[in-house]
Structure 1
């Protein structure tokens, strides 16, 4: 009963009714390279923050690119309204790492505040073009551009020169994780920490009530997610107990469906691993309902959003010991850390996590749900609203 009441409360708190705000309401313009219908951590953050901001009496516009990186030739509608958020999509060129989209300047004229997400072309261009648009700006870091070690030396030089100079144009630099804060404080000493929220209503309390040797991983098919390491660990688990099963859930990115299928075949894991490409939330919830554990072998995370969503579902996370996941586990001891570069060791940690869950399923589930509750977007959005108000961008609270 307790978990049912909690689940209903979360769903109700995170449900947003679409409505038009009066033209006199302050306008927050979010700038982000990818947005809905694409799904990922960055997109979910902006969508959830936007919805919560609309609920609090602001107008919200999202300016984003007019195609998805996974399908650059398929143009999306130039304008759309999604849950009360005005979405404007603009053409771009160049690479997905640093897409060039100068038309962004056309959509800032009526903004009361510009909120840039991530350190990319938009971050630099709006900083150097601030004399053209004259708008107050803040930026949320979302991991910067250190998602992989590739070109590490060049990235560090860029960070300490161009990124440092661009940051001077922003009223506040907001870091979404402790690891980001540690990094950005080197160039912006007064950086602010507002950790990301998680959509804890999306999969609330959905995991199997009966402990199962079934693992879910969720995320883009990116090289830095190290699905290869997770599959290696799965290969070890298969030899120890044939009941083990892995569900890989995500969207194509650096790797496509064929790449992941080939990695599964190479390890002779057909039948032990199921691949789900771009399922909707309803389908993901059904997958989670058959599982007990969540795993990520990712070598880098900006925050670890997907692990929190897994916890809200009642999945026990086993995570690679990167900076973000280590910080998260330090706060929530229920999380298990593993070295996924060693498949034998990782498999042993996954087995131990299952054994702990099997011994006290209700106790572990309660710890997971309680931990996730503190990351509700209702709470996190309130911190952003306080920041907006500190910059004299205020609206009547309509909650």
Structure 2
């Protein structure tokens, strides 16, 4: 079997989809299946191919932009594969090009949360959902929802859907477990610096703690996806948090794992997660998680057992929770860390990849009787 994973982002870019595609492709290929990656993006100047992690990685340029454009050469590339695994949360440029250029190659879709979580381009999204979603999803032999919330949303537009959650590299993040005595005042956020992650709200929480006599040491690490670095630094300066908050706009895996060993709490102010891979990775590293009480991440975090919930409104309830977190004794920290690791172990790629392989086999055998099959 030859599979081509088609994605809007890939290493050296960093993010949930990039990590998902890279980890899944690597593990499926170990079973004797050929898996290659097509990174389709308007950022590429020309078509190219390289090898990474034992996988061929094709960089396919898009004429236009990341939502609407033509991916020249994608059809010729896809013609050499038995199955396409498409990672297209927007259901726009990738799916459109696949329908135009790759109609005869069977395909499955991973949803990655869709694009309904923000109000940007709200009118356009309404038109897209109303007139295009069903037609576009009908092409796929299976729609693989990454979470319960994705199942609920995409089931409105397709009756050919199954939940298949993402995985994490559990062994890798085990290397980030805290060394020495846990310190619940040492926090970390790592992940994309994007608007929906509400890193500004995390910074405000550190200010709330400082103003009430609680000293927190916070590291903010990750790629500056939405060009927020300057505004976040300005906020830190305005709040006089230079001694409490450090920013690291990019961090290599080895350095990240070293930092994780010195941190006890992972915090995110995210207002939306398609799955919450960063949270599960943090739990695999034994971190106590602090986040909003929202789906699907409240399915991973058990209050006072593996983490805590904040409203990020700087109110008295949040202050009380911050006091509780920073007052945890070492024994309680270690117990919560162990519980977090047990929860994260369920999402180890070693088992998750097998479930994806089953969907691949069904899609090729015709057992997933989706709209694409009925249309042929």
Same fold (TM over 0.5): yes
Q: Secondary structure at the match of 2:5?
A: strand
| Residues 294, 315 of structure 1: 8 Å contact kept | yes
Q: Secondary structure at the match of 2:335?
A: helix
Partner of 2:125: 155
Partner of 1:261: 233
Partner of 2:156: 186
Partner of 2:182: 211
Q: Secondary structure at the match of 1:391?
A: helix
| Residues 46, 60 of structure 2: 8 Å contact kept | no
Relative distance call for 1:100 and 1:202 in structure 2 (3 A) is: farther
Equivalents in 1 of 2:143, 2:94: separation in Å? 11
| 1:189-230 Cα deviation digits (max 9, x unpaired) | 231000110122222152334221111011111111111111
| Residues 238, 244 of structure 1: 8 Å contact kept | yes
Equivalents in 2 of 1:81, 1:379: separation in Å? 25
TM-score under structure 2 length normalisation: 0.89
Extract unaligned runs of 5+ from structure 2: 366-376
Relative to structure 2, which stretch is displaced further, 236-245 or 41-50?
A: 236-245
> What are the within-5 Å matches in structure 2 for residues 174-323 of structure 1?
174-208=144-178, 209-212=180-183, 213-323=185-295
Q: Structure 1 residue 167: deviation in Å?
A: 0.5
Residue 129 (1) aligns with residue 100 (2): yes
Partner of 1:37: 12
Q: Secondary structure at the match of 2:119?
A: coil
Relative to structure 2, which stretch is displaced further, 133-142 or 92-101?
A: 92-101
Residue 54 (1) aligns with residue 24 (2): no
| 1:72-124 Cα deviation digits (max 9, x unpaired) | 4x858811111121100011243345554243222111110011002333443
Relative distance call for 1:32 and 1:55 in structure 2 (3 A) is: same
Q: Structure 1 residue 286: deviation in Å?
A: 1.5
Q: Structure 1 residue 126: deviation in Å?
A: 4.1
Q: Secondary structure at the match of 1:114?
A: strand
Equivalents in 2 of 1:300, 1:113: separation in Å? 31
Residue 375 (1) aligns with residue 347 (2): yes
Q: Structure 1 residue 347: deviation in Å?
A: 4.1
Aligned-residue RMSD, C-alpha: 2.4
Equivalents in 2 of 1:98, 1:234: separation in Å? 40
| Residues 123, 166 of structure 1: 8 Å contact kept | no
| Residues 88, 95 of structure 2: 8 Å contact kept | no
Relative distance call for 1:149 and 1:352 in structure 2 (3 A) is: farther
Q: Secondary structure at the match of 2:289?
A: strand
Partner of 1:324: 296
> What are the within-5 Å matches in structure 2 for residues 48-127 of structure 1?
48-65=23-40, 72=43, 78-98=48-68, 100-120=70-90, 121-126=92-97
| Residues 187, 264 of structure 2: 8 Å contact kept | yes
